[in-house]
Amino acid sequence: MIIETQDDVVRLSGSLRQNQWPTIRAVAGMLLHDHPEGIIIDCANLQDISEEGAKTFLEAMRDIEAAGKRIIVANLPEHVLNVIKSVPGIRSQLPIANSVEEARASLHRLPQNVSPTALAPKGRSLLVLLVPGIDLTPGAWLATQMARARRSEVAFVFLLEVPRDLPLNTPLGEQEDEAQHALEVAMGFAKNAGVTATPHIERVRDLIDGALAMIRQYEVERVVFATSQQSLDTGNEETFYRLVDALLHRAPSEVIVGRLKAEKIL
């Protein structure tokens, strides 16, 4: 087994017959220090693997994710992947990318998560929920106008819905691009309004459960959830109203729901 490192990548070559995570851990820790967004394990030159060797990935994933970081495995040969699939608890949880480039794009596309404790005290902050498939940036604009008047802070949370048959940290190119774009637009509204704001992407299995969990975690007084008529006209009204119904009936905070005209958002 040959272990090499370069930038944010740990490269494994040869035969992985034993659990090598104790050997790799220190090196991975140094890489994470320089690349807090996460690291990649490149298996392109991995020739064979045993079930015991596959535990390398399980322990790596558990340790790194427990530290609040991300790990993605790239370039897994099919015969190696078949062995990994046979080990309980690994294939169902291991984030896999087709290439180092795809993995790196996922790691760098997402902004760093921000702890809810970084927000203003309860009652002085607003939470804006953003979800895939529907433009909720009008809510970000509305929240920044409210925050400017109230001298409040704003948290923008994009809920990235991951299918249950995939590991939670699996790269999701299109959704990640959508999340990045939405958060960039939202942060632009905050900058223009002179408002302090924090972006956050939360990977969830269910949009409603994820939204309610974020509201409880951030302990905000008000949640802003708004879209434009133009967005609703594109056929996304079912998702919007389903979330509205859940928020109005189950959210432990005030909920402000809006439907804005696009030309009003400046």
Cβ proximity of 195 and 144 under 8 Å: yes
Matching CATH topology for 2-109 and 116-264? no
**What is the amino acid identity at position 199?**
P
Dihedrals φ, ψ of 67, to 5°?
Answer: -85, 5
The reply to whether CATH 3.40.50.620 applies to domain 116-264 is yes
**What is the amino acid identity at position 2?**
I
Q: Rounded distance, CA 212 to CA 159, Å?
A: 11
Predicted pLDDT at 266: 52
Please report, for the chain, the start and end positions of each structural domain, with discontinuous segments joined by +. 2-109, 116-264
- To which CATH superfamily is domain 2-109 assigned? STAS domain (3.30.750.24)
pLDDT in tens, the chain (266 residues): 899 999 999 999 999 999 999 999 999 999 999 999 899 999 999 999 999 999 999 999 999 988 888 999 999 999 999 998 888 878 678 899 999 999 999 998 755 454 444 555 555 589 999 999 999 999 999 999 999 998 889 999 999 999 988 888 889 988 999 999 999 999 999 999 999 999 999 999 999 999 999 999 888 889 999 998 888 887 778 889 999 999 999 999 999 999 887 655 55
Angle 175-99-64 from CA coordinates, rounded to 5°: 75
